[in-house]
Amino acid sequence: MKRRTVADPDLSLREVLAEWPETAPVFLRHEMLCVGCLIVPFHSIADACREYGLDEALFHAELEQAINS
């Protein structure tokens, strides 16, 4: 079975935050309202980055760093 990663474009933000709760501070550091938002089951990381005007590659790198710390 293939291991899920935070880079999977099909993951919802709910799945990301549930699987890797250590990523929550990354969202909060960028003043993103994703943590606790009712839309997290429907948005992906790409959606959130678009919404907040963030570079998706850099944001993914921050998430990976949080996970691997």
Alpha-carbon gap, residue 15 to 21, rounded angstroms: 10
| CA max distance for the chain | 35
**What pLDDT is attached to residue 3?**
78
Q: Each residue's pLDDT tens digit in the chain (69 positions)?
A: 567 889 899 999 999 999 999 999 999 999 999 999 999 999 999 999 999 999 999 999 999 999 999
Domain boundaries, the chain: 13-68
Distances (CA, A) of 33 to 11, 18, 69: 18, 16, 23
pTM of the shown model: 0.90
